[in-house]
Chains A and B, each alone.
Chain A
């Protein structure tokens, strides 16, 4: 069955770094764009980044551009999010989501992983 599972969240100090992973199974990972979406406490959903099937095309929210890097390994079926210079405003649940074939929405999400930035 189709599944995406995030990992790598945790507590990190301001200014620190963290790398999230999203392991995909049950579908042809290399054929689908993928996104990272986050939800800060008490807030709504926010697109963080997305990546094309080959990894050559990426997009970032203004709030993370220059600090976060999205990548993928199509041989291992894993999506990554490298997060640097973390601030308290980056505290959120981070979801991995599969982009639909039309690249207009998301048709499948993971349960998320919590990132807490605090001293």
Chain B
């Protein structure tokens, strides 16, 4: 099986940079996706295929990978960025979608 590890929570002040990491053994070979999830709403993809920002996602969101670590960076955090963020990839065979445990980002 393929597990993705995220830290449970982080706090950041408005205007600062938030870096959320996701660790997984298959990440060097499989894409990482990042989803923003606010209570009562549909999750929204903010980064696809390691570092692609879908249309409509603010430019302050960026993604990168290095070895077994994928990172979601939010530059110049705003109050509206407060949410749970989940990474997602596939297992080493590419046949099953796996989610990280999620990181709750609180904007102070």
A105 touches B101 (CB 8 A): no
- Quick check: B86 and A104 within 8 Å, CB to CB? no
Check if A44 sits within 8 Å of B99, measured CB to CB.
Answer: yes
Tell me if B95 counts as interface (CB < 8 A to partner A): yes
Q: Kindly identify which residue among B31, B45, B90, B99 contacts A107, using a CB–CB cutoff of 8 Å.
A: B45
Query: Range of interface residues on chain A?
Result: 20 to 34
Q: Are A102 and B49 in contact (CB under 8 A)?
A: yes
Q: Mark A78-119, 1 if CB is under 8 A from B, else 0.
A: 000000000000000001010010111111111110000000
Q: How large is the interface on B (under 10, 10 to 19, 20 to 34, 35 or more residues)?
A: 20 to 34
> Does A11 make an interface contact (CB < 8 A)?
no
The verdict on B98 contacting chain A, using a C-beta distance below 8 Å, is yes
State the total of A-B contacts with C-beta under 8 angstroms. 62
B99 close to A112 (CB less than 8 A): no
Is the CB of B43 closer than 8 A to any CB of chain A?
yes
Residue numbers of A with Cβ under 8 A of B are: 35, 37, 44-47, 50, 59, 95, 97, 100, 102-112
26 A-B pairs (CB sep. < 8 Å): A44-B84, A44-B86, A45-B43, A45-B86, A45-B102, A47-B96, A47-B99, A59-B95, A59-B96, A95-B42, A95-B43, A102-B49, A104-B30, A104-B31, A104-B33, A104-B49, A105-B31, A105-B45, A105-B97, A106-B33, A106-B35, A106-B45, A106-B88, A109-B43, A109-B44, A111-B42
List 12 extra interface pairs beyond A45-B43, A97-B43, CB under 8 A. A37-B99, A44-B86, A44-B102, A45-B102, A59-B95, A95-B43, A102-B31, A105-B88, A107-B45, A107-B48, A109-B35, A111-B41
- Residues in chain B within 8 A of chain A (CB atoms): 30-31, 33, 35, 37, 40-45, 48-49, 54, 84, 86, 88-90, 94-102
